[in-house]
């Protein structure tokens, strides 16, 4: 179901962006704000259908008709809403070539369904189902200290979830709803990541020298302000690499694209800047043990653009052969924030 979105006043957007940043900082510091962050207490133990309404975002930059922003072309967006209590908090997002999606939330819930489109333009979500993540004995992960599921990778035969705070990786069958998970042996350095700034990004490598490996990136460095730690988990060349920190930005998700690149979604918040979003591109062939990568910034965006607390990223290819980046936000289950979906095409150099 889709309805038309009325223009939102800039004051409301300012409040939303400040709330996104304040809540992000609070969660990162381990602070619990019960009145602002209310994760669902009742989770779906078995798959449950839900309805999501969608309002279109027609302009990425407020009061600006442009669709091209540096190396990115805006193809449309959505504000998503559901009365279902476990909807929200989307932190990891995967999209297939036929627009089926799988997402994971930081309440320990899988969401699956279809992204409806008109060409490249997203129009809504349909066939949406929710189910809580389970451990190897069928117990709910969220009830056993593993509800902060922040990253998601999809392989041909499995789904992998990275969990912050506990700093673990879990493996699920390709259809993970209602399935038991098993813990994956991750590098010891993953356990050294700091609380609430752990394995925020995870991707599966489908081809090339690292075929079959997982790539993980920490939200922040081992020390505050340090470069971002990268991990090659499994595959033919396991090891560690480093991504040079770009200004104040921290990693929130990554996606491996069919064009031989991987893309990194990054975020920053301060009282003076508000919430910022950045996208960087890297050559997948450069990911080797010991490598130090800088990448190319494709775009940096502030509160003058229609962003929120952007945490999920998927990469696909359209009929014209362009790489499409689809981003989703984590609303922290806060009424002051929004769950939004944005889509861009990566333009040729």
CA 140/CA 24 separation, integer angstroms: 25
Q: Which two tokens stand for residue 88?
A: 């929200």
CA 11/CA 230 separation, integer angstroms: 38
Residue 39 has a pLDDT of 87
Residue 304 lies in a domain: yes
Structural contact between residues 315 and 327, judged by C-beta atoms closer than 8 angstroms: no
Residue 20 has a pLDDT of 56
- Flag whether pLDDT at 339 surpasses 80: yes
Q: pLDDT tier at 18 (50, 70, 90 boundaries)?
A: low
- Flag whether pLDDT at 3 surpasses 60: no
Residue 286 lies in a domain: yes
Lowest-pLDDT range, 23-32, 90-99, 211-220?
A: 23-32
CA 30/CA 259 separation, integer angstroms: 38
As for how many domains the chain has, the answer is 1
Looking at every residue in the chain, the average pLDDT score rounds to 90
Q: Which two tokens stand for residue 175?
A: 């259809």
CA 92/CA 327 separation, integer angstroms: 10
Residue 24 has a pLDDT of 52
Enumerate residues 6+ apart whose C-beta is below 8 A from 18. 274, 275
How much of the chain, in percent, has pLDDT values that exceed 70? 89
- Flag whether pLDDT at 4 surpasses 50: no
- Quick: pLDDT tens for 99-146: 999 999 999 999 999 999 999 999 999 999 999 999 999 999 999 999
- Quick: pLDDT tens for 232-287: 999 999 999 999 999 999 999 999 999 999 999 999 999 999 999 999 999 999 99
Residue 244 lies in a domain: yes
Specify the higher pLDDT residue, 41 or 80: 80
Residue 13 has a pLDDT of 52
Q: Tell me the pTM.
A: 0.90
Residue 334 lies in a domain: yes
Question: Any idea what the CATH number is for the domain that residue 73 is in?
Answer: 2.120.10
- Three-state DSSP at 12 gives helix
Residue 5 lies in a domain: no
Residue 3 lies in a domain: no
- Quick: pLDDT tens for 153-172: 999 999 999 998 899 999 99
- Three-state DSSP at 57 gives strand
Residue 138 lies in a domain: yes
Range of the domain at 14: 10-346
How much of the chain, in percent, has pLDDT values that exceed 90? 81
Residue 134 lies in a domain: yes
Nearest partner of 113 among 105, 125, 121, judged by Cα: 125
When pLDDT is averaged across residues 18-25 and rounded to a whole number, the result is 54
Residue 41 has a pLDDT of 85
- Flag whether pLDDT at 31 surpasses 80: no
């Amino acid at each position: 179901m889709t309805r038309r979105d009325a223009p939102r006043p800039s004051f409301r957007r300012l409040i939303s962006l400040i709330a996104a940043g304040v809540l992000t900082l609070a969660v990162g510091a381990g602070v619990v704000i019960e009145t602002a962050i209310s994760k669902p207490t009742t989770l779906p133990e078995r798959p449950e259908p839900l309805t999501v309404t969608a309002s279109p975002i027609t302009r990425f930059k407020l009061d600006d008709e442009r669709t091209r922003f540096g190396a990115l072309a805006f193809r449309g967006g959505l504000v998503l809403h559901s009365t279902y209590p476990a909807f929200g908090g989307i932190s990891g997002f995967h999209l297939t070539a036929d627009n089926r999606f799988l997402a994971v939330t930081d309440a320990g819930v899988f969401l699956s369904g279809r992204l409806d489109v008109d060409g490249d333009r997203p129009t809504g979500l349909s066939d949406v189902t929710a189910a809580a993540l389970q451990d190897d004995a069928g117990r709910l992960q969220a009830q056993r200290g593993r509800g902060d599921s922040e990253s998601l990778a999809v392989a041909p035969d499995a789904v992998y979830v990275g969990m912050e705070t506990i700093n673990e990786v879990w493996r699920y069958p390709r259809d993970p709803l209602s399935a038991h998970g098993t813990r994956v042996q991750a590098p010891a350095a993953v356990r050294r990541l700091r609380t609430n700034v752990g394995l925020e990004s995870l991707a599966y490598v489908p081809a090339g020298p690292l075929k079959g490996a997982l790539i993980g990136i920490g939200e922040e460095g081992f020390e505050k302000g340090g470069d971002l730690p990268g991990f090659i988990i499994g595959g033919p060349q396991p090891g560690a690499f480093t991504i040079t920190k770009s200004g104040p930005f921290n990693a929130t998700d990554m996606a491996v694209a069919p064009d031989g690149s991987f893309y990194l979604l990054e975020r920053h918040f301060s009282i003076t800047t508000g919430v910022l979003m950045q996208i960087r591109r890297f050559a997948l062939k450069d990911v080797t043990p010991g490598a130090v990568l800088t990448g190319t910034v494709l775009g940096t965006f502030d509160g003058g653009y229609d962003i929120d607390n952007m945490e999920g990223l998927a990469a696909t290819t359209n009929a014209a052969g362009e790489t499409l980046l689809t981003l989703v936000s984590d609303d922290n289950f806060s009424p002051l924030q929004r769950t939004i979906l944005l889509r861009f095409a990566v333009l040729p150099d």
